[in-house]
Amino acid sequence: MTLKSGSRGSIPPFIVMEVMNAAADRERMGDAVYHMEVGQPGTGAPRGVIEAAHRALDDQLLGYTVALGIPQLREAISKHYTDFYGISVPMERIAVTTGSSGAFLLGFLSAFDPGDRVGLAAPGYPCYRHILAALGIEAVSLEVGPEERFQPTPEALEAAKEAGGPLDGVIVASPSNPTGTMLGRTHLDRLIRYCRAEGIRFVSDEIYHGISYGAPAVSAAELDPDCLVINSFSKYFSMTGWRLGWMVVPENLIRPVESLAQNLFISPPTLSQHAAVAAFDCREELEANLVRYATNRDMLLEELPKAGFTELAPSDGAFYIYADIRHMTNDAQDFCRRILAETGVAVTPGNDFDAERGHGTMRFSFSRSEAEVRAAAEALKAWKR
């Protein structure tokens, strides 16, 4: 008898990981690859973090920690909110997690029930809807475009309510993946006020905070203590493989999050926690990374139109440029496969981010070295379509 498999695993793949596999295959054959597919900094963890990790290896048992994270790290994160945003967030409301991915799982489980409806922008980070689907929560796409700067609005939430019933939550990312757009304080406050009036749980994905090219990003924690705020050491702090994130948790979710974390994860990675305490003292090195991102961004905004990519979303923050390519193709996945095969440039089709309209879009990541990003731009300009 064939044993059944659970339906919760029947979710779409994360397409960018498929592109990474194809790029790795090309590299194994000895062919050049210019990595613009994955949102991973081209630099490793700051020197202070590496040194702290060495000290921890020498001095610490590195056993389990408490489920919400070591007090030293929670205190450092609390201080970060004072230093960076000018607000007080007590360490008791901070939960350290196994990457932002672990935070999404804990946050969604604690805030929503199966059958709840949660709105999210399309285009948007695909793992939101995939995790929600695996948990039996309905992901409601809010189709937004250049007019809304690819961000949710109260009007979009109201339209979703009229079309399918009340929403129980909304997920907002500012800066956004894949578009890089941001919400200013006035617009973010208006959106949060609408959600509070409607009883909608506001989940703020802030993992690209610190990476912006004008005004700094505004944290939802500045505006409403009932927002669930998710952040990570992966992007601004260049610690992707350390698998460490955090949440600012509303008072009524602290105990549920702790109980879930105890049962699902025991504790976040111990070595990463001890090392991450030092991350907040590495600003000079981290700001140097930001200068490189800004240089790459400016270069691509100038060079991509010369390669035919003329319809670009505003890149306010993060390290992405999102392109409308409907004038070039109606099959973004095939188009990106051809680009990789014929130029060595690995890029991500928009299908990952927008199930309905993504076939006409694609995302460029400019998080790697200036030399690699420039070489990719030259290869794209030379490509004969």
* Domain definitions of the chain by residue range: 7-44+283-382, 62-281
Q: What is the pLDDT of residues 70-79, one digit of tens each?
A: 999 999 999 9
> Does the pLDDT of residue 19 top 90, yes or no?
no
What pLDDT does 315 receive? 94
Q: Given this chain, do its domains 7-44+283-382 and 62-281 carry the same CATH topology?
A: yes
Class of domain 7-44+283-382: alpha beta
Confidence of residue 287 (pLDDT cuts 50, 70, 90): very high
Please, what is the average pLDDT of the chain? 95
Which range (20-24, 72-76, 167-171, 178-182) has the least confidence?
20-24
CATH code, 62-281:
3.40.640.10
pLDDT of residue 34: 93
Tens digit of each residue's pLDDT (9 = 90 or more) over 326-375: 999 999 999 999 999 999 999 999 998 998 999 999 999 999 999 999 99
218-274 pLDDT tens trace: 999 999 999 999 999 999 999 999 999 999 999 999 999 999 999 999 999 999 999
**In contact, 98 and 234? CB cutoff 8 Å:** no
Report pTM.
Answer: 0.94
